[in-house]
Amino acid sequence: MFAEKVDSPHRSPAKCKGCGAGSLVERKWWIDTGTIEEYYGRVYYCNICFTEFVNLVGYYSPEQVAELEQDNRNVRQELKELREGVAAVGVLGIDLDAARRFVQDHYVSTDGAEGRLDELIARTASSGEQDSGEGPNDIPDPKPGRKRASL
């Protein structure tokens, strides 16, 4: 058996064994496995299916690695900005627990935001001081006695 990378499938059935995409479907490249299956024909895999297969065994192309590294840099930058923002709130003397309650009361989310907010506040609080008393810069509960929304 030999396999080779080709621009398009040429022999019948001239389609991807994985997804069924034919030669008229635009793909970057195809893998001709060099095998012929009885009652099917020549076996080809498109670049999308082949990439999924090799990802299953831990191989990632240089393009995929570059994309993941860029995503990682973006997430790290966003996290840095969020931490700086939370730290600035603490420096201003705003009670972070009151801020968390305010966010939970007014911005209900279904994607686990409460856990991430608690974690960010805990990290920031452990790295700096926080005003623990009721003061003029604390965020007031806008609706006293209101049951807090659960996330």
**What is the average pLDDT score of the chain?**
75
Residue 55 contacts by C-beta under 8 Å, 6 or more apart in sequence?
64
Q: How far apart are CA 7 and CA 39, in angstroms?
A: 24
Q: What pTM does this model have?
A: 0.46
pLDDT digits (tens, 9 = 90+) for 12-39: 888 888 898 887 778 888 888 888 888 8
pLDDT digits (tens, 9 = 90+) for 128-150: 544 444 444 444 444 555 554 44
b/e map of 49-69 (b: 16 or more CB within 10 Å)?
bbbeeeeeeeeeeeeeeeeee
